[in-house]
Amino acid sequence: MKNGNLFVPESETERIYKNYGSLTVLELDDSFKFNQSMGCMGPDCLSSMIMAMNATDGDLLDQFEKLQWIEGGLKVVYADCFNIVSNLIRDSIGENGIWYKLDSKPITGKATKFNG
């Protein structure tokens, strides 16, 4: 994401930077229709994620696990979008990041400068 703080686990940094580093959140939303996948609770994916985080007190594991039902390559794209957007929000309110994984337990850490 363009010139912001974002928690991304070291093992994922190169892939995330390559695939999404030049995109803003709204471009991410437009490119992958992430807000639609979240049910369009708000006008864009950032607003929808804030609503989801407020409704769950920030515990998003149940919401993330719903991605298991998505078929094909979009599962990984939506998982990445989910993690990027939720971690941008977490950093903006001073929380540690949580990177949810499709095949293992979440990873936590502090956001660092992410220059896309």
Rounded to whole angstroms, the Cα distance separating 69 from 80 reads 15
What is the SS3 assignment for 111? coil
Q: Which pTM value belongs to this model? A: 0.89
Number of structural domains in the chain:
1
Range of the domain at 21: 4-114
Encoded tokens for 99: 């990177």
Give the confidence band of 96 by pLDDT, cuts at 50, 70, 90: very high
pLDDT (tens digit, 9 = 90+) per residue, 47-93? Answer: 999 999 999 988 999 889 888 778 777 889 999 999 999 999 999 89
Give the confidence band of 111 by pLDDT, cuts at 50, 70, 90: confident
CA distances from 29 to 44, 85, 94, 109, 112 (A): 7, 10, 23, 24, 22
Rounded to whole angstroms, the Cα distance separating 22 from 3 reads 9
